[in-house]
Structure 1
Amino acid sequence: MSRRRLLQGAALGSGAAFAGLGSRFAHAAPATPLSFIGWQFQPQIVEENVNTFKSLYDEAVNYELVTGDYHPVVETKLTGGQRIDMLYAEEDHIARWCTAEWTRDLEGLDGVDEMKAGMFPVSVKSMSLPNGKLAGLPYYAGHNAFIYNEEHLQKAGLQVPDSWDSLLDACRKLKKDGISDAPYNSAWGQKWPELSWSIFSCWYAEGAPVFDAKNDFVDDAALRKVLETHQALYKEQLVAADIMTLPNEGVPSYATGRHTFMVLHDYDQKVANDPKLSKAAGKVKNALMPGKTKSTFAWTAVYMMGAQPTDIDRTWTLLRFFGGKSKDGQYHVIKRWALDFGLGSAYKEVMADPEVVASFGKWRDLAVTNKQLELATSRDIAKQIWFPEWDLFMMQRVQEYIRGSMSTDQIVDELGKKVAELKQQYQ
């Protein structure tokens, strides 16, 4: 059985097509709770948001927190036939789940076109299926940013590096001068928001397409440059020895003030500049990514609707409350994420809100951020249903490469062959 059929197996035996959902479930009793599954970010606040929704709309919702590795756990639940009305997903799973008929697109639902018109195009693209249909509403919009400790550079008499070669040279001097024993830091673990996101950001910054229009792997000089830079950073002990197992994507480690540079999720700049959480607070600045193009990886996480919701109208109301405006015209959930945690939004209106602008400006240079977003790249390849499997394989093998177990020729050959293998299996 092909992987495509395996993905679809549980869904094909579980019920009707979408066309009849509106009439079939529209009269479900309000006492029947909607089901909502979420990951481990601030679950206590999610509970509060659920309670706000229940009160505002006189609704019933069962919120379930998924511990562990979110996407594989949810896929197990969906394969087992669990009915879920609303769930989180990252951009690398939306097409996979829609293809398996576990979730549905949102086209044709009330207000969708107006909502898309109010979003940044890169976010709409990130949340859309290969056929252009919107697959979810935005949870938050993020990108990987490049930060540096200004005090460290001043002590070393260095400028902010704008290439991978100058970054390596800066790290060598910082270590030689005793300013930082591990000047570079990043998320190099195997979870989906770690090495995958950070290395794609570096690849895009150097101009590596990674995949072409036919979804084939591209072995080029830019891709090899980034790989070899990662290997050199590790070999020369310019990173922490345990960088591949650092908790929380390496952010707490950076907050110790030990490191000079880091590629990290843009919202984590708030942590790095919070004096309650970081010894480097006030010294951390953001700059454009090093590399020839200065691009980075940008994504938008989503709230998705289950393929067979308890009630399509009630579920759509739940999605709109969490992923847009509520009926009172407020962005209750999205604005709170922005103000409390620095999470960016797909909505232009939210990012232009004076409170949000003032809050974000306290911990990062907004002009640099806006320029970085202009240059950012969305990861179209993530819309291929085989991509999550390749992505995990890539992280595992790249870790081994970084440790020096194979040559650059060997790693790029393996990555290319894995793409061909998975494309064949998913036919």
Structure 2
Amino acid sequence: MTSPLDRYLLSRRRVLQGAAALSAGTMLGGRAFAAPSTPITFVGWQYQPQIVEENVKIFSKLYDENVTYELVTGDYHPLAETKLTGGQKIDMLYAEEDRIARWHAAEWIRDLEGLAGVDEIKASMFPVCIESLSLNDGKLAGMPYYAGHNSFIYNEEHLSKAGIGVPESWDALLEACRKLKKDGISDAPYNSAWGQKWAELSWSLFSCWYSEGAKVFDADGNFVDEPALRKVLEVHQKLYQEKLVAEDIMTLPGEGVPSYCTGRHTFMVLHDYDQKVTNDPAVSKAAGKVKNALMPGATHSTMAWTAAYLMGSQPSDVDRVWNMLQFFGGKAKDGKYHVIKRWALEFGLGSAYKEVMSDPEVVESFSKWRDLAISGKQVENGTARKIGKAIWFPEWDLYMMQQAQETFRSGSPIDKLVADLGAKATELQKQYQ
């Protein structure tokens, strides 16, 4: 029998088992009388697909539309790229921000500039979100699926027992972890997503790098070797070598969230919406004890991102597909944020829209599980990962995670890791010239 937390995570990013009702290519929406005969094609990943199906039906009814929704189970981005490379025509699809420029360069998607209402839509979003959704030339390329950032959380009860405050630097965090372990309060005080999937070690490391003020890459896309970058890598290596993290941290399921919910760990860098899970008494033994603070580090910044709905480069009908992008990624023609507000209220997903984040219902809901003043400051101080727009970046990113893991495990020199990362970036830049 699976626990409530297991069921939550199963629906989140793991392959669905026996989801016959959501098989690929399922026709959704129950065509209205006036619906066009040619369907809009929509490809999505495995986050709450049953709700996506409901949203497709709402859109189809509201707009008298015909939609084919295809669920991609497994590692979404490589599978989506396989479909696109094979010539599959897709009208609307999901993507994380680091794929937008790559897919645009491959002529699989188009930008949204010039479509009705785009300027007003951009004016209603937070600047960091616009930056995430735009191409290098500034053109808006996607509508926001959700807006997130990596948060720093702590178990208030653990700190109280240890008689220590919330660490504001990485050195202070390291010392706090040593004391918590020595005092027997936590055998693995620090936790984070250290796996090799796209939203794990890379997002965590970039958040820590930005919090310390590391550029990682300069404006021209060149790798930057600097003390702040090395500092973060050194702290991570010490956390692992001193056994201040779980021995299996690099293979923890669910991005480490289930492990934190056991109450075993004190600190964690995690996706902001997952704090809602850690404070849910139905799935977490740490519920009610988990607080958020600004990221430790010299700048207290973090990595902020906005996932996207993209329009295929050859849409079956631009106006119809644009209606669907607006319905899912903004306001529908009835003036409601049908999809975005539901994600916020039910799952704690942040929005790129100022209006949604200031909505009284959303504010009340979010305030139950996190300090909104702190999270607001964290968003304002967030850093968008501009290098993600480089078409070679996904390859470097995977290489970086693999090499970082091995360095943390083996205790091999940080000098070598940094040199290898710089050399790999230069190699890939030349390949893609």
- Which residue in the other structure is 1:122 paired with? 128
Aligned residues: 400
Spell out structure 1 runs of 4+ moving beyond 2 A. Answer: none
- Aligned position for 2:59: 53
1:367-422 Cα shifts (integer Å, max 9, x gaps): 10011111110011111100011001101111111112531110000000001100
The reply on whether 1:96 has 2:102 as its aligned counterpart is yes
Q: What aligned pairs does 1:25-174 form with structure 2 within 5 A after superposition?
A: 30-174=36-180
SS of equivalent residue, structure 2 residue 112:
coil
Matched residue SS, 1:134: coil
The 3-state SS of whatever aligns with 2:98 is coil
Aligned-residue Cα RMSD (Å) equals: 1.0
1:376 equivalent in structure 2 = 382
Deviation at residue 108 of structure 1 after TM alignment = 0.3
In structure 1, list runs of 5 or more residues that go unmatched.
Answer: 1-28
Q: Deviations over 1:46-93 (max 9, x none)?
A: 111011111111111111111111111100000000010000011100
CA contact under 8 A between 1:37 and 1:84: conserved in structure 2? yes
Amino acid at match of 1:94: I
Greater relative contact order (Cα < 8 A, sep 6+): 1
Q: In 2, are the aligned partners of 1:31 and 1:59 still within 8 Å (CA)?
A: no
1:198-233 superposed Cα distances (whole Å, 9 cap, x missing partner) = 000000000100011221100110000000100000
**Correspondence for 1:192 among 171, 178, 198:** 198
1:216 counterpart (219, 222, 232): 222
User: What is the rounded CA distance, in whole Å, between the counterparts of 2:233 and 2:410 in structure 1?
Assistant: 11
> d(CA) in 1 for partners of 2:46 and 2:251?
19
Deviations along 1:70-119, one digit per CA (max 9) or x if unpaired, are 11110000000001000001110000000000000000001111100100
Task: Compute the TM-score of the two structures, normalised by the length of structure 1.
Answer: 0.93
Match of 1:286 in 2: 292
The answer on 1:333 being equivalent to 2:339 is yes
Kindly provide the amino acid, as one letter, of the partner of residue 157 in structure 2: E
Matched residue SS, 1:358: helix
Runs of 5+ unmatched residues, structure 2: 1-34
Corresponding residue for 2:307?
Answer: 301
Counterpart residue type for residue 79 of structure 1: T
Identity fraction in percent: 75
Task: Verify: 1:275 aligned to 2:261, yes or no.
Answer: no
> Which of 385, 388, 409 lines up with 2:391 in the alignment?
385
In 1, are the aligned partners of 2:241 and 2:411 still within 8 Å (CA)?
no
Name the CA distance, whole Å, in 2 between partners of 1:241 and 1:272. Answer: 21
- Residue 229 of structure 1 pairs with residue 235 of structure 2: yes
Report the TM-score when normalising by structure 2. Answer: 0.91
Q: 1:410 aligns with which of 412, 416, 423?
A: 416
Q: Which residue of 1 aligns with 2:249?
A: 243
Tell me the distance in 1 between the aligned counterparts of 2:374 and 2:68: 41
Contact (CA 8 Å) 1:104, 1:306: kept in 2 or not? Answer: yes
Counterparts of 2:127 and 2:174, CA distance in 1: 35
